[in-house]
Structure 1
């Protein structure tokens, strides 16, 4: 459905001579990604409002997606699976953060989780896909960006944990979001498929 809609947009742009026929596939894929991402974002916000955890959902999205843009990671074969994986990851992060609130040594756990995330990202990122293969120069650039992103995120989270203790549940969600995204770049999870769509 999303593909068909994206394809129609590209066809209309070709009809109006805004884009070339040769570029149709690229634009269709781009529109597909944008529409899929918007629908996932809207769905997550709605669920965040329903379950009264909108701010935590936003924190998860910000930290997870800002690292994912640079590092890449596992891609689902369909938009629906992408939404389900993202939804489960988000609410699992929120659930784990609630469980950690009752644990005295949660700061130590957060630091260890962030160190592990940095190691994984530095070792395995970036991960490209069949639809978006990266050249050697692009891989170098994205590796640097992903390393900087995960390190900056880790510093922000640790600084929040030290100076803004009242935001404990939020920086825990942020730390778990970073860790979950780092897991998606692991070779054992991110198996290259012959036909990868989106997410």
Structure 2
């Protein structure tokens, strides 16, 4: 391999350092807002969580714009990102243990999709089969719970219902766009948003079974 390899311990130390730095910055910001009476002290944990989610969204938007601009495929990148994020919000699935790991993993996934998605745009039968299988899997499973979300039974049932409505809506959008003769080179990015959402759900279920065993 040309260049140098970053050892796993060094990489892990970098991720840990960044995560701790991020948490410290958020805590300082929220504590400052409390001292200035901008927010109530008993709402500290809620504001810390909201700030973490906001930072994650900012990272995501920046990443999508950069990948789109650098690849010259802004529309395709947005199509995939919207599909993925829309489904991901309720399907759950595999989650990285820190915001930075999530950002890096998402960036790699997005780059791979943009680089290789259109390689299979002519394999219409294969992609349609993959789409149907993934859509059915998402509809049946609905939502995969995990420690980072930790839905209770009622919340899980509601989220599963929302996921099923979403996957039906996305399927109808694909049918409509196909009817309007939107080229496969664009539709393929919606396909991959669905397929990778299903794959993420599968990975999380496998991970949980491995931990239990």
Same fold (TM over 0.5): yes
Q: Answer yes or no: is 1:17 the counterpart of 2:37.
A: yes
Question: What CA distance in whole angstroms lies between the structure 2 residues aligned with 1:95 and 1:158?
Answer: 25
Aligned residues: 189
Question: What CA distance in whole angstroms lies between the structure 1 residues aligned with 2:208 and 2:105?
Answer: 13
Question: What CA distance in whole angstroms lies between the structure 2 residues aligned with 1:179 and 1:18?
Answer: 43
Correspondence list, 1:3-14, <5 A: 3-14=23-34
Unaligned runs of 5+ in 2: 1-20
For residue 178 of structure 1, the aligned residue among 190, 194, 203 is 194
Question: What CA distance in whole angstroms lies between the structure 2 residues aligned with 1:158 and 1:94?
Answer: 23
Question: What CA distance in whole angstroms lies between the structure 1 residues aligned with 2:105 and 2:89?
Answer: 17
Q: Which has the higher contact order (CA 8 A, sep 6+)?
A: 1
Would the alpha carbon gap of residues 81 and 66 (structure 1) be closer, same or farther in structure 2, given more than 3 Å must change?
A: same
Structure holding more helix per residue: 2
Question: What CA distance in whole angstroms lies between the structure 2 residues aligned with 1:59 and 1:75?
Answer: 22
- Matched residue, 1:84: 104
Q: Return the TM-score normalized by structure 1.
A: 0.84
Q: Answer yes or no: is 1:118 the counterpart of 2:138.
A: no
Q: Answer yes or no: is 1:164 the counterpart of 2:181.
A: yes
RMSD: 2.2
Greater Cα radius of gyration, structure 1 or 2 = 2
Unaligned runs of 5+ in 1: 194-199
Q: Return the TM-score normalized by structure 2.
A: 0.79
- Matched residue, 2:206: 188
